[in-house]
Amino acid sequence: MKLTIVTPEGVVCQAEAESVALPGALGRFVVLKNHAPLMSLLECGDVVYMEQGEERRVAIRSGVVNVHNNEIEVCAEVDTPSAKK
């Protein structure tokens, strides 16, 4: 799946992810390949994704996520640009 995390400053993460865990407004949830389309508000927490067998994290303050056709687009305010670009 293609994961893109965008902030007001620009793109902080573009990755081919095997799974993505997100801090949703109603609780944490995981997106896997062929997930049903969805949009959700995101709260403060970590976006945790697996890329080539390695866990990576991006700390966010708030945002939204759109999942469609194996693409995950996160628009958020990021605490630290800790993700691999």
**pLDDT band (50, 70, 90) for residue 83:** very low
Residue 84: the pLDDT is 46
Asked whether 1 and 31 are in contact (CB, 8 A), the reply is yes
Is the per-residue pLDDT at 70 higher than 80? yes
Domains of the chain: 2-78 (2.60.15.10)
| Count of all residues that appear for the chain in the document | 85
Asked whether 75 and 64 are in contact (CB, 8 A), the reply is yes
Residue 80: the pLDDT is 56
> How many C-alpha atoms does 17 have within 13 Å on its Cβ side?
32
Q: Is this prediction's pTM over 0.85?
A: yes
Percent of the chain predicted with pLDDT > 90: 89
pLDDT in tens, 2-28: 999 999 999 999 999 999 999 999 999
